[in-house]
Amino acid sequence: MADTNIRETRYNFRPRAQIGKIPKVANCFLIFNSNLRRSKPKYVSMPALDFIRRSSHEWRRLPEKRKSLYRREYEIKKYDLEKSFQASTSPQYSYMDILNM
């Protein structure tokens, strides 16, 4: 067979859990966005770009105490995801216990 310089590209269409990577959790700003969109009816029908601009403005105006609640919710979701991933994979997988910091 003749040697050709054609590269073979292989794609992996398996879910991330099967590959061994931990899926990412929505960060605190995205959690705030989803709560904001659900909380006010005027935001439901707003175009995405306008909503992102408005929500980022509201996020900047949000007091640090309220932001810390969203950060805490993010940390809890991240912890739960890592814990469930650890249970489904090998026992050698380690994770940081962020709730007891």
- What are the structure tokens assigned to 39, written together? 């909380």
d(C-alpha 18, C-alpha 35), whole Å: 31
Is the pLDDT score of 50 beyond 70?
A: yes
Is a pLDDT exceeding 50 seen at residue 100? no
Question: In the CATH scheme, what architecture does the domain 20-100 have?
Answer: Orthogonal Bundle (1.10)
Q: Report the alpha-carbon distance of residue 60 to residue 64 in Å, rounded.
A: 9
pLDDT of 96 higher than 70: no
- Let me know how long the chain is: 101
To the nearest whole number, what is the mean pLDDT of the chain?
Answer: 77
pLDDT (tens digit, 9 = 90+) per residue, 23-41? 678 899 999 999 998 888 8
Token pair of 22 as six digits:
């931990």
User: How far is residue 84's CA from residue 93's CA, in Å, rounded to a whole number?
Assistant: 11
